[in-house]
Amino acid sequence: MRSEHRTTPVRSRERSTVTSATAVAHPNIALIKYWGKRDEHLVLPWTDSLSMTLDIFPTTTRVRLAPEAEHDEVTLDGVPVAGEARRRVVAFLELVRERAGLPQRAVVETENTVPTGAGLASSASGFAALAVAAASTYGLDLDATALSRLARRGSGSASRSIFGGFALWHAGRHTGTATDTDLSSYAEPVPAGGLDPALVIAVVDAGPKAVPSREAMRRTVETSPLYRPWAASSKDDLVGMREALRRADLDAVGEVAERNALGMHATMLAARPAVRYLSAATLTVLDSVLRLRRDGTPAYATMDAGPNVKVLCRRADAERVAEAVRGTVPGCSVHIAGPGPGARLLNEGG
Ligand code: 2P0
C-alpha cells in the first residue's frame, strides 16, 4: 500500500526548492538491535531499537535537480551506482518527488568514508544524508521527526542517524491504517548525560557481506524458531537499557547491549538456512573482550550484519581496549568512535 499522505506541511515549490543541497550524516551502532520488518514497503520493524550515532565515518550527499534528465544519476565516490543499490535510491527519490509534487530527476553524488557493505551501517548514514539533502532540494519542509520517518523508508537504521548521541527508534503502532502506523514509527533522541562512552570498532573484514541484511532479516523472521522469543526479550532489554542510560551505568549498558546482539545472532543461526555473519576472527575479538573484562576493564561487544566487532567501553579506556583488540587478528584495523552529531545540511545552492 502506498503512503501518499503528507506528514508535514509542504512549501510551495516556487518559494523553497533549491538547485542543490548537500547533507552530512554519520553511521550509528545499535545497542538494542533492529532485526526484522513487519512491513517491508513502509519499513516498519517488529521491535524498538536504540543506537549511538558515531563521530567518525561520515557520509556526504549532494542532491542536484536535473530538469533535462530522463533518469536519476547516482554515484558513490565518483563511480556510477547500478543494480539494487541504485534501485533503492531511485525508489526513495520517487517518494520525495511524490510528496513534493515535483517530477524532476536528480543527480545524487555520495562520498562515503565507511567501508560499504561491511556491516558498519553505511545505509544508515547514506539514507539519512540523502533524506536531508533530497528534502531540501525538493522543497519539503520537514522537522527532525518527519525527516526520521522519511529516512526510515530508505533504510530502517537511517531513521536513527537523523539524531546525534543516543536515539530510540519506535517500532510504532502495530494496528490501524497504513498512515497511522507510518506516522507512529520514528526515532527520537535519548538523554545519556554522564556517560562518556566510546565504541572501538574492529574491522576484521571490510569486504561486502555474503547475505544482504534485508534478505537475512526476512529469512530470520520467516524461518527462525528463535525470532519471536528474541523479539519478546528485546522489549525487556530496551527497558533495562533506558534505565542503564538514565543512571549512566556503562556496565549495565554494555551487559544489555552484548546479550541483545548475541541473541540477534542466535536468531540468525537458527534460521533455515542459517545466516552466519560471525567469523573465526569475530570470535577471536570476542575472546579478547572477555579477557579485558576479566582483567578489570569494562568492555562489551556488539556485532551487526557482518563479522566486525564494536566494543563499548569508557572513553578513558578506549586506547587500551583498541590496543588489546588490534593485536588479536592479523590485518584487523581498529577505529575509536565517540557519540557524534545528527544529520545536517551543509549548504543550499541554487
Ligand atoms: C541495527 N542492522 O539495528 C541492525 C542490527 C543490522 C544488525 O539496521 O532493510 O540496513 O535497509 O531497513 O537498516 C541493518 O539494516 O536494513 C541494521 P533495511 P538496515 O543497526
Gap between the Cα atoms of 103 and 138, Å rounded: 10
**Short-list 19, 115, 37, 107, CA closest to 69:** 107
State if residue 277 touches ligand 1 by the CB under 6 angstroms criterion. no
Q: Give ∠ CA 169-170-175 in degrees, rounded to 5.
A: 150
Q: Which of 155, 185, 221, 258 to mutate for ligand 1's pocket (most ligand atoms within 8 Å of CB)? A: 155
Q: What is the distance, to the nearest Å, from the Cα of residue 205 to the centroid of all Cα atoms in its chain?
A: 19
Mapping DSSP to helix (H, G, I), strand (E, B) and coil, where does residue 260 land? helix
197-337: CATH topology: Alpha-Beta Plaits (3.30.70)
- Predicted confidence (pLDDT) per residue in 188-201, tens digit: 999 998 999 999 99
**Residue range(s) of every CATH 3.30.70.890 domain in the chain:** 197-337
Number of neighbouring beta carbons within 10 Å of residue 68: 7
Q: Per residue of the chain (350 residues), what is the pLDDT tens digit?
A: 333 333 333 343 444 667 999 999 999 999 999 999 999 999 999 999 999 999 999 999 999 999 999 999 999 999 999 999 999 999 999 999 999 999 999 999 999 987 654 556 679 999 999 999 999 999 999 999 999 999 999 999 999 999 999 999 999 999 999 999 999 999 999 999 899 999 999 999 877 778 999 999 999 999 999 999 999 999 999 999 999 999 999 999 999 999 999 999 999 999 999 999 999 999 999 999 999 999 999 999 999 999 999 999 999 999 999 999 998 998 899 999 999 999 999 965 44
Q: Which three cell numbers stand for residue 58?
A: 561520515
Question: CATH number of the domain at 3-192, out of 3.30.70.3150, 2.30.110.10, 3.40.50.300, 3.30.230.10?
Answer: 3.30.230.10
Gap between the Cα atoms of 278 and 127, Å rounded: 26
**Residue range(s) of every CATH 3.30.230.10 domain in the chain:** 3-192
Q: Which of 304, 309, 310 to mutate for ligand 1's pocket (most ligand atoms within 8 Å of CB)? A: 304
Stated pTM of the model: 0.93
